[in-house]
Structure 1
């Protein structure tokens, strides 16, 4: 006699086991909401460029050639920066999904969104030797169909270091700034057309996933790039939690990125694609001014969940200068913090955390006061944007001299620097280029030498403040144009500089010195 009970239960058990195995093997559902601009992303279909980057020695003659008779250490540090940078150039690994040779962040064989955005900025000056800008192509090639781009991507196999909806998975949103700096220098509109869809899709993903109901934005220590700053309330991870906080830098950076996307849209005739950004930026600009500004202390702060400021004076607030957020009647008081010895005017300027904070560490403590090239450059560019040229020069010269001093003592460049005299950063990597290349290259040319290339290279502002003989040859000035700038020694800063300028094509030069200014028209190939 057949035992039907046994058979029935056996079948149920077998079916259950089959269902469990089937479910356990089932992949996660794909819940991405496709972004229509991703379909325009040309980098997703681009074949890998397997070009092997050339060595520093092979490329040295193609790089700008600085001169500074009174400061040979500056020239030595400049070439050291390029030497290390070229040692960090890589070709695409097969099967990684990357598409372009790139500069490595000198950290862990991963591409970092925030590091790369700054590295390509000093790379602008070496464009004739290596196309550093194409480093960014690898991020666009890894864009998800909903617009997401990971902040950290393995160079070996192309894997992403974070799950997409992790608080630390992406950011900061600085890719538009990096692309914009290249456009201002070289005027390549076709590049803007190519990158615009990817940048816009990423902006929209960021807005959908990193904003609070009140419109402000959030991130984490790792997500904002300033890993361990003491900005959150106790009980939250400074590295990996948003702390239910409205983050001042992330909110302002979205304004800054939005401003650039609107500018790009105007140039490439895609105004209809950014109407929502124009409206959001109006709101966010007012939000920062009304809610993140503290009138008593004249500073912009992160906001806790209940809307109260955290009263942590982070360098993050100075993104507001680049985003054109600070009203004229607030600017002077806001900038006073930079000259206050109890806050940001330390031996090495500017620390990333105000010295009057209990969490400030004299050796820098990584982002608890450490001086970093990217945030220093952000501040300097912001001061330039607000026409605070003398303050920018003062801070740039202090920072530059400190970096050169450490270079003289150690023979190399470092990831970050201690803000106090006699201290050396404990949490800092050596031979770091990496974004520290900004200081001996970009800051040297733009703030120590005072050479500012204007949009598309059609004109140059030369703000001469040194009295030594100095200059640079083979400096890229616009697309396919190179120029030499030489200034001879002066007795006084008020003396008109004796300059020699040679350019491949016609440019307009605005010469500025303490005693006056002059517009000079430079004919191509003329001296």
Structure 2
């Protein structure tokens, strides 16, 4: 499989190093760059611009990327790049040399270590690099200016056999001596075996989706980063383009796709937020290696996800229940304690970001908002807590959670069902919000707990091709709405999580054919337009981040179960 690094970064499992082709702008030349994704998505964190050189001059080249090798090819020769270890890049070339250019900022500098090594202190990105010439020569131009290098230009040039090899190694404090005795070919072979093991462990799909499966496999494999700082376990980031964090509901869909064949890593995706849980019970909005963000949270989807996993695998044993029970209790109680300002038993979002549907029209009249999806998720979660309490012989807690789930369901139906549809209200005033968002259909997860007339109304609304159902799946805002925007984030485009939740819910209420139809439309769109963050509901065009893990994970699940 080959892919375009303009859209899909070249990286590997465990690494914070990423190669991307970045389009030109006023601030940056177009070209191929090595980036660091430490510290999240506040900027692109560019380290080096890469160029092939011949006789000291930059020459044109073509980028050819596969899961384990990035080849830079010119009419004069080539260079091949392999991230052999998460923090070590190996490069070999013939007929050409390789130039690395760093545009220095405050305190960035380079010093010579010996006749074949230079240390680069990239202080502006809080990381260091050791450049080592393994074969050929290394020359560095790093003119000093007061307290930093003006720029750093490192040229790896060929030997008398017109070949060069080099290493680019990331480190934080002290570089550990490395002789690089292992050949480039041997290093690449090891990475290839690692990747093939992941691919072979990826959910199976039909032959029709073979190429899409491998793309999804590569994206999910390459987006895992190693434990570091706040990242307490191997974490599947949402992307290595620019969504370079792990968010606390995106992670759940990735866990679902991993559950069958990679259960330990699936569990890690859920438990990484437990490791970072606040004493009040809430989970952070997202985490990266340097910090957790607490300005927002995400919906309490964990109960629904855990039930989904338990229906398909048996890896969640009593010890897992013991590990997750108290954190899940604290997370559930947090909503009732901190997100019910008017004390009516109907929980509120204080911002669209808390729902995961950041700019949905459910929030366009202001916040806080009592949206029925939130209460629905909590009903499912309380039911699961009731089941978990029974497993742990907590009889009274079993009864408590079961009763609270039933009471909350009754309140939801009285409060949020208007006789024809679920509606959202401003918390406190209970002013009805005018919205035709797919978010208001998420209570379908309650399935047969709902009266038949409500189920029928929800299904009829989803089947209406004047509102949500398109050739490619379910739009997140009615296409007939005045607020529908083709590239409007949660105001129109098709998304993986909403598709997954509704497809699964339809299947459970007996709408198997309709569930299959939506799943197949979604997978056909993916086959044509890749693993983007979201998609134009009317054209299927991929939008926003073009290499997203939850898109990949949901595709794998739906193609495995419905196609």
Q: Please give the TM-score of this superposition, normalised by the length of structure 2.
A: 0.61
SS at match of 1:414: coil
Instruction: Note the C-alpha offset of 1:303.
Output: 1.3
Cα distance in structure 1, aligned partners of 2:396 and 2:285 = 28
- After superposition, residues 357-506 of structure 1 pair within 5 angstroms as 357-361=481-485, 363-407=486-530, 413-421=531-539, 424-426=541-543, 428-433=544-549, 435-448=550-563
- Give every structure 1 segment of 4 or more consecutive aligned residues whose post-TM-superposition deviation is greater than 6 Å: 51-54
Q: Is the 8 A contact 2:493 2:537 kept in 1?
A: yes
* In the alignment, structure 1 residue 161 sits paired with structure 2 residue 293: yes
For 1:507, the equivalent position in structure 2 comes to: none
Q: 1:383: Cα distance to partner?
A: 0.8
CA distance in 2, matches of 1:117, 1:64: 16
Once the two structures are TM-superposed, the CA of residue 308 in structure 1 deviates from its matched residue by 4.0
Asked whether 1:103 is paired with 2:218, we answer: no
Q: If each structure's helix is expressed as a fraction of its own residues, which one has the higher value?
A: 1
Partner of 1:228: 359
TM-score, normalized by length of structure 1? 0.65
Q: How does 1:42-191 map to 2 (within 5 A)?
A: 55-68=194-207, 71=208, 74-93=209-228, 96-106=229-239, 107-127=242-262, 131-154=265-288, 156-157=289-290, 159-162=291-294, 166=295, 168=296, 170-187=297-314, 188-189=316-317, 190-191=319-320
Deviations 1:203-235 (A, max 9, x none): 11222111231111111211100111122354x
- For 2:379 and 2:432, the matched residues in 1 are separated by 20
CA contact (8 A) 1:370 1:425 kept: no
Alignment of 1:288-303 (within 5 A): 288-295=412-419, 298-303=420-425
**Aligned-pair distance for 1:360?**
0.7
What does residue 332 of structure 2 align with? Answer: 203
For 1:131, what is the secondary structure of its paired residue?
Answer: helix
RMSD, aligned α-carbons: 2.4
Cα deviation, residue 58, structure 1 = 3.8
Could you tell me how far 1:55 is from its partner in structure 2? 3.7
Alignment partner, residue 217 of structure 1: 347
In 2, Cα distance between the equivalents of 1:397 and 1:414? Answer: 17
Q: What 5-or-longer segments of structure 1 have no aligned partner? A: 1-50, 237-242, 408-412, 449-527
1: distance between equivalents of 2:542 and 2:215? 20
* Contact 1:292 1:309 survives alignment (8 Å): no
Return the offset for 1:418: 0.7
- Once the 2 structures are TM-superposed, how far is the Cα of residue 282 of structure 1 from its aligned partner? 2.0
- 1:321 paired to 2:444: yes
Q: Once the two structures are superposed, what CA deviation does each residue of 1:17-59 show, in whole Å capped at 9, x if it has no partner?
A: xxxxxxxxxxxxxxxxxxxxxxxxxxxxxxxxxx999842343
Cα contact 1:98–1:141 (8 A) shared by 2 = no
What's the offset of the Cα at 1:251?
Answer: 1.7
Per-residue displacement from partner, 1:105-125 (whole Å, max 9, x unpaired)? 215432210110111111224
Paired residue secondary structure (1:231): helix
Cα displacement string for residues 452-502 of structure 1 (whole angstroms, at most 9, x for unaligned residues): xxxxxxxxxxxxxxxxxxxxxxxxxxxxxxxxxxxxxxxxxxxxxxxxxxx
- Asked which structure has the greater RCO (Cα within 8 Å, sep 6+), the reply is 1
Q: Structure 1 residues 379-388 or 279-288, which shifts more? A: 279-288
Query: Any conservation in 1 of the 2:230–2:292 contact (CA below 8 Å)?
Result: no
d(CA) in 2 for partners of 1:144, 1:108: 23
8 A Cα contact 2:370 2:425, kept in partner: yes
- CA deviation profile, 1:358-414 (whole Å, cap 9, x unmatched): 1112x241100110011100001111221211111121112221221223xxxxx11
**Any stretches of 5+ residues in structure 2 without a counterpart?**
1-85, 88-190
CA deviation after TM superposition for structure 1 residue 430, in Å = 0.6
**Distance in 1 separating the partners of 2:210 and 2:364:** 45
1:171 aligns to what SS in structure 2?
A: coil
- Structure holding more strand per residue: 2
Residue 97 of structure 1 and its aligned partner are, at CA, apart by: 4.1
Q: Please state how far the C-alpha of 1:417 moved relative to its aligned partner.
A: 0.6
Q: Distance in 2 between matches of 1:326 and 1:312?
A: 22
Could you tell me how far apart the structure 2 residues matched to 1:137 and 1:350 are?
Answer: 31
Conserved 8 A contact 2:376-2:445: no
336, 359, 378: which one aligns with 2:460: 336
